[in-house]
Structure 1
Amino acid sequence: MKGLSLKVGPLGENDRLLTILSEGSGISRLAIPGARKPKSRLGATSPFNLLDLHIVGKKDLKKVTQIKIIKSYGNLGKNIETLSAAQAISELILIMVGNEDPQKDLLKLVLMHLNRLNELHKTEFDSLEALAISVQSCIHLLALGGYCLPLQNCCHSGYKLIPPIGEWSWKCSFIPEEGFAIGKIPNASAELNPSELALLQRLLLEKVPIHSNGKLLGPKNVWLKLLRIVETWIETHLQKKIASLQMMREVIISNELNTK
């Protein structure tokens, strides 16, 4: 079995429990016998490694007898922003994907975003880029899992959501239970101007939105607003909070305060 390790925890006195995402089985939980013993050849397993596993057993908790690391995403742990973004991906997957539920395209999508986060440390690190990748990765995962943000049509009128760039009086309201409605709606969770809605819509595409000069589109306060929208959508429709997204928000805000 080839897959991505999402969680590694203790199992009994000497073993570890590995939670892995694979194309063929979705989420699998596997025992790693003796992994907690000193000098165990199976003891180095950690989250966010792409693994090739040899597994034995047919029922209940299967056992791992051999582990080969295909790729390690070791750079994720160098910064709390990238680690939080990766952990948010893991949390969201574990909420949406069932045990032994095959996921054809999910692993490929997750690895694409982990690669982007991992690559951030090869140049001067920018926490805003980590935030943008985090927001986009969640939007992609939600779309693949059937919980896509409805960004194409007004949830009240059915009209196309086409942001009139430059018309700053135009507003779009985010209603967590329904979607996005044109105009100012009382008690809406958030309001977006044309540029903010256009940026959010672009996140459905594969690439992170950037200027022609290579810089990320959108200022920090806008990305924090989009993060809040994603958090609220998840809480409303999946009935769960993603703790790592909250951590991401707190770190970004703290960094901003420390630089003032």
Structure 2
Amino acid sequence: MGLYRDEGVVLRTQKLGEADRIVTILTKRTGKVRAVAKGVRRTMSRFGARLEPFTHVDLQLHTGRSLDVITQAETLHPYGEAVVRDYARYTAGSAMLEAADRITVAEKEPALRQFLLLVGGLRTLAAGEHEPRLVLDAYFLRSLAVAGYAPALTECARCGAQAVRAFAIAAGGVVCARCRPAGAAVPAAETIALMIALLRGDWAAADASEPRHRAECSGLIAAYLQWHLEHGIRSLRHVERV
């Protein structure tokens, strides 16, 4: 039992009793933490909006038996202020938070790279310099790469051949004509190029892409992500309506 400090991004909250909340946070050093914020739902709570989703916060916590307790919270970056004002950004950001929660399964296992990716993704989303869905797809691809599930995009996922023909989720990415399984998607070459640009952070190429290739890219990435997570991302249903 003791105090510790960390910084993190609030992923989600849920009510506990009449005035408390359980807050799930992806932290920089500790990993994913579920902690109780006592009295946060009261009008005069000292935490106020500091423990709302999308907020990058500096925390002091007290270790508990099952759930830690948040004793101090200071806002570092209120990304939610910019994100919630725009529907497209809000739905994309919600999908990012949900995916971060799903990808970092175990609690209190350090996940520094996932944390940095999430902070970077939210910062980019809040800045509004790129289409929200492109930011979301870039975040998905990079998070999958950090987790060890990066799709093959430049050579066949099964045999390594350079002449790729289709995209097979179960095979791990692009495949050649010989390795192509039944039912594999056959995306446009520009769609695969967009996926490569998003994974590499080539925003000039990504921003110049056509809407039809963005739509095809988003569909493949969403399917690939959910197949590897073995769980649907509910927030994507709202993103896809934008």
Match of 1:149 in 2: 151
1:207 to partner: Cα distance: 3.8
The one-letter amino acid paired with 2:68 is: K
Q: What secondary structure, in the 3-state scheme, does the structure 1 residue paired with 2:186 have?
A: strand
Indicate how the Cα distance of structure 1 residues 194 and 57 shifts in structure 2: closer, same or farther if over 3 A, else same: closer
1:181 to partner: Cα distance: 1.3
Q: Name the CA distance, whole Å, in 2 between partners of 1:151 and 1:14.
A: 49
Match of 2:48 in 1: 43
Match of 1:4 in 2: 9
Indicate how the Cα distance of structure 1 residues 25 and 134 shifts in structure 2: closer, same or farther if over 3 A, else same: same
1:137 to partner: Cα distance: 0.8
Indicate how the Cα distance of structure 1 residues 96 and 25 shifts in structure 2: closer, same or farther if over 3 A, else same: same
Percent identity of equivalent pairs:
24
Q: Name the CA distance, whole Å, in 2 between partners of 1:146 and 1:209.
A: 26
The C-alpha deviation readout for 1:21-61, integer Å capped at 9, x for no partner, is 11211110010111112211123221111111121234321
Structure 2, unaligned stretches of length 5 or more?
1-5
Match of 1:172 in 2: 165
2:23–2:37 contact (8 Å) kept in structure 1: yes
Q: What secondary structure, in the 3-state scheme, does the structure 2 residue paired with 1:109 have?
A: helix
Structure 2 residue 211 is matched with structure 1 residue 220? yes
The one-letter amino acid paired with 1:62 is: D
What is the alpha-carbon root mean square deviation over aligned residues? 2.0
Show the 5 A alignment for 1:68-107.
Answer: 68-73=74-79, 74-97=81-104, 98-107=106-115
Indicate how the Cα distance of structure 1 residues 150 and 36 shifts in structure 2: closer, same or farther if over 3 A, else same: same
1:57–1:63 contact (8 Å) kept in structure 2: yes
Match of 1:18 in 2: 23
Q: Name the CA distance, whole Å, in 2 between partners of 1:153 and 1:144.
A: 19
Indicate how the Cα distance of structure 1 residues 12 and 181 shifts in structure 2: closer, same or farther if over 3 A, else same: same
1:188 to partner: Cα distance: 3.1
Q: Name the CA distance, whole Å, in 1 between partners of 2:54 and 2:167.
A: 33
Q: What secondary structure, in the 3-state scheme, does the structure 1 residue paired with 2:84 have?
A: helix
The one-letter amino acid paired with 1:206 is: G
Q: What secondary structure, in the 3-state scheme, does the structure 2 residue paired with 1:82 have?
A: helix
TM-score w.r.t. the length of structure 1 is 0.82
1:157 to partner: Cα distance: 3.4
Structure 1, unaligned stretches of length 5 or more?
162-170, 252-260
Match of 2:126 in 1: 118
1:172–1:197 contact (8 Å) kept in structure 2: no
Match of 1:181 in 2: 175
1:175–1:189 contact (8 Å) kept in structure 2: yes
Match of 1:167 in 2: none
Q: What secondary structure, in the 3-state scheme, does the structure 1 residue paired with 2:77 have?
A: strand
Match of 1:32 in 2: 37
1:186 to partner: Cα distance: 6.4
Q: Name the CA distance, whole Å, in 2 between partners of 1:182 and 1:218.
A: 24
Structure 2 residue 187 is matched with structure 1 residue 196? no
1:133–1:208 contact (8 Å) kept in structure 2: no
2:11–2:26 contact (8 Å) kept in structure 1: yes
1:27–1:100 contact (8 Å) kept in structure 2: yes
TM-score w.r.t. the length of structure 2 is 0.88
Task: Provide the aligned length of Structure 1 versus Structure 2.
Answer: 232
1:192 to partner: Cα distance: 2.1
Q: Name the CA distance, whole Å, in 2 between partners of 1:193 and 1:118.
A: 30
Q: Name the CA distance, whole Å, in 1 between partners of 2:29 and 2:158.
A: 40
Indicate how the Cα distance of structure 1 residues 160 and 19 shifts in structure 2: closer, same or farther if over 3 A, else same: same
